[in-house]
Amino acid sequence: MNRKYNFSAGPATLPLPVLEEAKQQLLNYKNAGMSVLEMSHRSKDFITILEETKTALTKVLSIPDNYDVMFLTGGASTQFATLPMNFLKNSAGYINTGSWSKKAIKEAKLFGNVNVVASSEEQNFNYIPQDISLPGDVDYNHITSNNTIFGTQWLQFPQRGESPLFVDMSSDILSRKFDIQNFDVVYAGAQKNAGPAGVTIVIMRKDLTEKSNTSLPSMFQYKIHADKDSCYNTPPVFQIYLVGLIAKWIESEGGLETIEKRNRQKGELLYQTMDERSSFYTGTAKKDSRSFMNVTFRLPSEELEKKFLQETETKSFSGLKGHRSVGGIRVSMYNAMSLEGIEKLTEFMKDFAQQNS
């Protein structure tokens, strides 16, 4: 089939069985006589797809009854604005752990006071601040669970405390188990572990949805989307269908426990390969903050990094170039990246280090 090992940070590799099922159903979904791409969002078939997607996500993430599950559009970038538009009355606490946090802070400042509770910016975001105590007198606190660009991840989340806690989980939702009840809002652009680009998952405590701002344009009101079950306007039907297939795939693989185990195994193999050659491969994130989704490292010189990338291109590896704000190499390894992919990459890394040291 000639499929590459796709190490892109997102949109990213998707599970092959999911793509195969989507392909098989592309002209005619389960004898509906049409593609999901052509399906009215008011049709029985799509309403069933929507319900099945919510049910599978709810099961996989253990979402309690007192949360709304919405499928919106505009990515996390839109949530950066609509969350403060709905909930920022006086001040909010933000933890600044990278580019995405910074963008979220920038948008929030348009609507109220932002208290930057902690930041790792002074060290180019190479760590996650530890032992944070979140303020209890703000409208909400906000964190970014994983940082695609700087290769850091909250390995243990801060405790919610007195104020609601919002988390942008775009790049690691569905990659590991976590207690959703520690959060009042979990949101994620789907295009890493949860689906293709074009749909945003928003999981919101119902008592918070009820308090959302009703003087905004309809499309920015969470209560409207929750009340209309994500069908106030035409939702991205095909994207929702794929999120459902992915959630069911996770279930069939053994749930988040299995997925998390695999992701740890991949990450440990890759970090071990780096650490055993630490004079050649320098991880950019501090060890206690290393991400299991995006691994960032530098080589001894930019020439060697260029050569590394050139050689990987001939190896059916794709998407390994680091983001310009860090440079070097970035290995993104979401759920759909197989252990085999990481084994092949680490074999290559060993050979490359040996030949170029």
CA-atom Rg of the chain in angstroms: 21
CA 41/CA 59 separation, integer angstroms? 23
- Of 28, 66, 115, 258, which one interacts with a copy of itself (CB under 8 A)? 28
- Of 159, 316, 325, 354, which one interacts with a copy of itself (CB under 8 A)? 316
- Of 53, 163, 171, 191, which one interacts with a copy of itself (CB under 8 A)? 191
Catalytic annotation present for 306: no
Buried b (16+ CB within 10 A) or exposed e, 130-160: eebebeeebbbbbbbbbbbbbbbbbeeebeb
- Of 89, 127, 160, 219, which one interacts with a copy of itself (CB under 8 A)? 219
If one asks whether residue 303 binds a copy of itself (CB under 8 A), the answer comes out as no
Looking at beta carbons only, is 78 or 182 nearer to a copy of itself?
78
If one asks whether residue 47 binds a copy of itself (CB under 8 A), the answer comes out as no
Q: Of 139, 100, 142, 98, whose CA–CA distance to 117 is shortest?
A: 142
If one asks whether residue 12 binds a copy of itself (CB under 8 A), the answer comes out as yes
Q: 């652009």: which residue's tokens?
A: 189
Catalytic annotation present for 172: no
Interface size with a copy of itself, residues (CB under 8 A): 68
CA 179/CA 183 separation, integer angstroms? 8
If one asks whether residue 126 binds a copy of itself (CB under 8 A), the answer comes out as no
| Contacts of residue 120, Cβ cutoff 8 Å, sequence gap at least 6 | 96, 97, 98, 126, 127, 128, 129, 152
- Of 61, 69, 88, 107, which one interacts with a copy of itself (CB under 8 A)? 107
If one asks whether residue 244 binds a copy of itself (CB under 8 A), the answer comes out as no
For residue 39, the minimal CB distance to a copy of itself (Å) is 6
Looking at beta carbons only, is 41 or 206 nearer to a copy of itself?
41
Catalytic annotation present for 154: no
Buried b (16+ CB within 10 A) or exposed e, 295-333: bbbbbeeeebbeebbeebeeeebebbbbbeebebbbbbb
Cβ atoms 237, 41 nearer than 8 A: yes
Q: Of 44, 41, 99, 92, whose CA–CA distance to 71 is shortest?
A: 41
Residues marked as catalytic: 100, 168, 192
Question: Using CB under 8 A as the criterion, which residues of the chain lie in contact with a copy of itself when the complex forms?
Answer: 1-4, 6, 8-14, 16, 19-20, 22-23, 26-28, 31-35, 37-41, 43, 73-78, 80-81, 85, 103, 106-107, 110, 189, 191, 196-199, 215-220, 232-239, 242, 316, 318-319
